[in-house]
Chains A and B, each alone.
Chain A
């Protein structure tokens, strides 16, 4: 699958990490892990940010996320006009890396709070597109 199918609209087509999109289609979220120094990166990178090695493997992220910050976007870019308002969230996986994604619209504005526990899930979008979404973490 091509990275062109990532998100509501994709601005990148050729990438060394396009396997990420194949994993999304399988319902799984993967990071890249450097085999030289062990650095785990999400979103995935073909070059290690620490040692620039291209020797990496895929590692599934299974943990919950904690919300770091967010905003509800009312004035959206034209491609997203019909989707607005939507809430952008920046969250941190328990494994360390961070993610920038929408927060599930089923979570009300009053419920969204910095520090809340979320889970990153994969989503299917129209026209065989795939993405990920921050939704409520399951109660322990």
Chain B
């Protein structure tokens, strides 16, 4: 990247946290600006996936969990999330229909987002009748592999005000990890790292979940979004299914979530997603989200999960 843009010999390095890479990149960039080490930092998330076919990508992803003890049994990313979905259904009575409602919402908003990979609305029947990938998750419960890139420029407040009339502030950061191996975890209807990351970010930003006007959460799978509602404190544990059913995460509901289409409609270019979430929220806070604008958005949350819930990164942004 640095070579192509012609900026050698400026310092450059790679941050790796699976699907949370650029979200973590922003945390690292923020730290360097805070430390006074650099004045302006570009965090660039990017991923090119469509040069491999879906099967080849699946092969790589089946080795992104516990390679020693789990990969010999042929897990896939959908399979891992499906096991969490199943646990949530068993613990709280969540249904496949409730998970499907997430896909319908995100495709509805994606249809109005020119950057989304899929710009077609879906019906409940479309989702429920799509082919099973890993039960209970079906094709339209899953995000697609995609190509994408996102760039965020970070600077101190003083420097930022000289560059733009509408800087967006990073007011809270959170990052937490969970064991990679499922056998080392104790909870499967929740991603503990999300709970911890959100807690840290809210605390730093001096807000609660109730203060968030708009959110971008990790919807690699419909069931993940439902679980995210609970983990991020938008609703109580176990009530995620009811929350989407009551329309609370549409514009006009308690907390609009993924109203740019989410990963389900946009596609999931793994390395770019973290930064892309933050950019979606920044656009909302700048009133630049067009037909998907949440009125009066002042505080937003960007949430990212890496892999099968090994990392969770949360960033609270404010228009202040």
Contacts and interface: CB of A to CB of B under 8 A. Distances in A.
A86 B72 CA distance: 13
A9 B72 contact: yes
Contact of B83 (A76, A90, A97, A99): A90
A71 B87 contact: no
Interface string A112-140: 00100000000000000001000000000
A16 B274 CA distance: 37
B99 to A, nearest CB: 13
B64 to A, nearest CB: 11
B16 interface: no
Contacts of B153: none
Q: Which of A3, A12, A71, A83 has the most CB of B within 10 A?
A: A71
B74 interface: yes
A69 B131 contact: no
A18 B58 CA distance: 28
Contact of B183 (A83, A88, A98): A98
Given A11-B63, A11-B68, A49-B184, A77 B84 contact: no
Contacts of B71: 9, 11
B133 interface: yes
A15 B78 contact: no
Contacts of A6: 72
Contacts of A70: 83, 86
Interface string B45-76: 00000000001101100110011111111111
Contact of B188 (A42, A77, A90): A90
B75 A99 contact: no
B135 A72 contact: yes
Contact of B58 (A68, A75, A101): A75
A90 to B, nearest CB: 5
Given A75-B58, A78-B59, A69 B75 contact: no
Given A71-B86, A97-B183, A99-B183, A88 B75 contact: yes
B188 A86 contact: no
B207 to A, nearest CB: 33
A75 B78 contact: yes
B146 interface: no
Contacts of A80: 74
Nearest to B66: A100
Interface residues of A, number: 38
A110 interface: no
A80 B59 CA distance: 10
Nearest to B138: A74
Contact of A7 (B58, B72, B82): B72
A79 B74 contact: yes
A131 B73 CA distance: 9
Nearest to A77: B62
Contact of A69 (B56, B83, B184): B83
B144 to A, nearest CB: 13
A56 interface: no
A63 to B, nearest CB: 15
B79 interface: yes
Interface string B112-141: 000000000000000000011111110000
B173 to A, nearest CB: 28
Interface of A: 3, 6-12, 15, 42-43, 49, 68-80, 83-84, 86, 88, 90, 97-102, 114, 131
Given A43-B69, A69-B86, A69-B87, 11 more contacts: A7-B73, A71-B82, A71-B83, A72-B135, A73-B134, A75-B133, A88-B74, A88-B83, A97-B183, A100-B181, A100-B182
18 contacts: A6-B72, A8-B72, A8-B74, A11-B72, A15-B68, A43-B68, A71-B79, A71-B134, A72-B132, A74-B135, A75-B76, A75-B78, A77-B62, A77-B74, A86-B74, A88-B83, A98-B182, A102-B73
Q: Which 8 A-B pairs have the closest CB atoms?
A: A7-B72, A80-B74, A71-B82, A98-B183, A77-B62, A69-B87, A12-B68, A72-B135
